[in-house]
C-alpha cells in the first residue's frame, strides 16, 4: 500500500474530536471547509475553483475527507466540479460503481466544531450508464484571509515547450531531494507553505513541523523514482497551474523505499511568474 505524503493537501487532526454548534457564519473565527466523499469502483477528480483537490482510482471502496481551504483564495463564490470516470483501462462503469460527496463547514478556532453541510452530489442510476459523469455547482465561502497565489501567474497556454519545462521543474525538485539539500527545499516551497499556513490557520511551529516530517520521511530510506514518460500533464486554474500525474492519478513526484519497496508520492503543482523563465512551486 502506498504511503501518500500530501504537500498540496493537508489534513489536520484535533484531539478534542468532533462537536456540533449552532453558530452562524459571522460568528465563526476560523472557518475550515472540507469535502467528505464515498467512492467505489471508479476513478474521480474533485476540483475546487478549477484546481484539483483530489484525484484517485479506486478499485475497491473508500470513504474519507479532504480539506479545501487552500483552494479558497478569498471570500465569495467558489466552484465545485466533480468528474467520475470508469477505472483506468476501462471504458464503462463497473456494476458496483458509486460516488457521493458533500462540502462541510467547521470552525477550528478552539476545537473541530461542525457548523453546517453545503452542496451535495450523488451518482444516480442514469449517471452510471454514461461513459463519464460530471457535476458542477457553486457555493459561497467566507474566510478571514486573501491569498496571493496564482491569480497573476502567466497563462501557460502561451508558453512554448511547456511539457519540457514541466519535466525540468520536476527533475530540479527531485534532484534537491535526492541530494538532501533541505535548506534549498524550504526556499523552493516557501511561497506555497506560507499560503498553506494562512489558509489552515497554522502557527509557525506547526508549519515547520509539516516540512520537518516530510524531510524525515525522505531520510528514512526513500529514493527518487525517475519520470517514466507515461505521466499525463494537467493544466488547472484556467491554465495558471500545471502538474504531472500518473495514469492512475498519483503525483509524478514519487519515491520508493529501497528496502520495503513502499511507494511515497508528493503532491506538487507549478506556476510561472511574469518575467521568469522557470516554473516554481505554488
Q: 221-251 pLDDT, tens per residue?
A: 899 999 999 999 999 999 999 999 999 889 9
Confidence of residue 210 (pLDDT cuts 50, 70, 90): confident
Distance from CA of residue 187 to its chain's centroid? 20
What is the distance between the alpha carbons of residues 176 and 184, in angstroms, rounded to a whole number?
7
Predicted confidence at residue 80, as pLDDT, reads 98
Q: What is the pLDDT of residues 26-61, one digit of tens each?
A: 689 999 999 999 999 999 999 999 999 999 999 999
Exposed, middle or buried, 78 (CB in 10 Å: 0-12/13-18/19+)? buried
C-alpha dist (Å) from residue 252 to 32, 151, 266: 28, 24, 8
Report the mean per-residue pLDDT for the chain. 90
Nearest 5°: phi and psi at 173? Answer: -65, -40
Q: Mean pLDDT throughout 131-154?
A: 97
Q: Which residues contact 186 (CB under 8 A, 6 or more apart)?
A: 193, 211
Predicted confidence at residue 258, as pLDDT, reads 86
What is the distance between the alpha carbons of residues 75 and 97, in angstroms, rounded to a whole number?
35
Q: Is pLDDT at 131 greater than 90 in this prediction?
A: yes
Predicted confidence at residue 24, as pLDDT, reads 58
How close are the terminal C-alpha atoms of the chain, in Å? 28
Predicted confidence at residue 7, as pLDDT, reads 34
Q: Is pLDDT at 185 greater than 90 in this prediction?
A: yes
pTM of the model: 0.88
Predicted confidence at residue 220, as pLDDT, reads 87
Residue linked to cell 471504458: 91
Task: Classify 2 in phi/psi space as left (phi over 0), alpha (psi -120 to 50) or beta.
Answer: beta
Q: Is pLDDT at 118 greater than 70 in this prediction?
A: yes
What is the distance between the alpha carbons of residues 5 and 253, in angstroms, rounded to a whole number?
10
Predicted confidence at residue 90, as pLDDT, reads 95
Q: Is pLDDT at 276 greater than 50 in this prediction?
A: yes
Q: Mean pLDDT throughout 108-134?
A: 95
Cβ–Cβ contacts within 10 Å for residue 217, how many? 15
Strands (E), the chain: 3-5, 18-20, 31-48, 51-67, 76-85, 98-107, 112-122, 133-141, 222-225, 232-236, 241-245, 254-257, 263-266, 270-271, 280-281
Cβ–Cβ contacts within 10 Å for residue 165, how many? 17
Predicted confidence at residue 23, as pLDDT, reads 54
Q: Mean pLDDT throughout 118-135?
A: 96
Cell of 239: 491554465
Q: Is pLDDT at 20 greater than 60 in this prediction?
A: no
Per the model's pLDDT, the better-predicted residue between 8 and 88 turns out to be 88
Go through 195-213 and write b for each residue having 16 or more CB atoms within 10 A of its CB, e for each that does not: bbbbbbbbeeeebeebbee
Residue ranges of domains in the chain: 3-141, 156-281
What is the distance between the alpha carbons of residues 46 and 164, in angstroms, rounded to a whole number?
27
Biggest distance spanned by C-alpha atoms of the chain: 53
Amino acid at each position: 500500500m502506498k504511503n501518500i505524503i500530501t504537500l498540496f493537501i493537508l489534513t489536520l487532526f484535533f484531539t478534542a474530536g468532533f462537536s456540533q454548534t449552532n453558530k452562524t457564519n459571522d460568528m465563526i473565527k476560523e472557518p475550515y471547509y472540507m469535502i467528505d466523499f464515498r467512492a467505489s469502483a471508479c476513478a474521480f477528480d474533485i476540483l475546487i475553483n478549477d484546481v484539483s483537490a483530489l484525484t484517485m482510482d479506486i478499485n475497491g471502496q473508500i470513504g474519507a475527507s479532504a480539506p479545501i481551504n487552500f483552494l479558497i483564495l478569498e471570500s465569495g463564490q467558489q466552484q465545485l466540479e466533480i468528474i467520475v470516470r470508469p477505472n483506468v483501462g476501462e471504458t464503462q462503469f463497473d456494476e458496483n460503481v458509486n460516488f457521493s460527496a458533500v462540502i462541510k463547514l467547521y470552525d477550528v478556532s478552539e476545537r473541530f466544531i461542525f457548523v453546517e453541510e453545503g452542496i451535495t452530489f450523488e451518482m444516480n442510476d442514469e449517471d452510471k450508464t454514461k461513459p463519464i459523469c460530471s457535476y458542477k455547482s457553486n457555493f459561497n465561502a467566507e474566510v478571514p484571509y486573501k491569498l496571493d497565489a496564482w491569480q497573476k501567474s502567466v497563462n501557460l497556454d502561451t508558453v512554448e515547450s511547456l511539457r519540457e519545462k514541466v519535466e525540468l521543474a520536476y527533475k530540479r525538485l527531485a534532484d534537491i531531494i535526492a541530494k538532501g539539500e533541505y535548506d534549498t527545499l524550504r526556499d523552493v516551497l516557501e511561497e506555497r507553505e506560507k499560503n498553506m499556513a494562512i489558509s489552515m490557520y497554522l502557527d509557525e511551529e506547526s508549519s515547520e513541523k509539516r516540512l520537518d516530517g516530510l524531510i524525515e520521511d525522505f531520510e528514512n530510506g526513500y529514493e527518487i523514482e525517475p519520470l517514466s514518460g507515461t505521466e499525463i500533464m494537467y493544466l488547472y486554474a484556467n491554465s495558471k497551474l500545471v502538474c504531472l500525474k500518473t495514469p492512475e492519478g498519483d503525483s509524478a513526484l514519487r519515491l520508493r523505499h529501497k528496502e520495503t519497496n513502499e511507494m511515497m508520492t508528493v503532491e506538487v503543482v507549478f506556476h510561472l511568474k511574469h518575467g521568469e523563465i522557470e516554473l516554481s512551486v505554488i
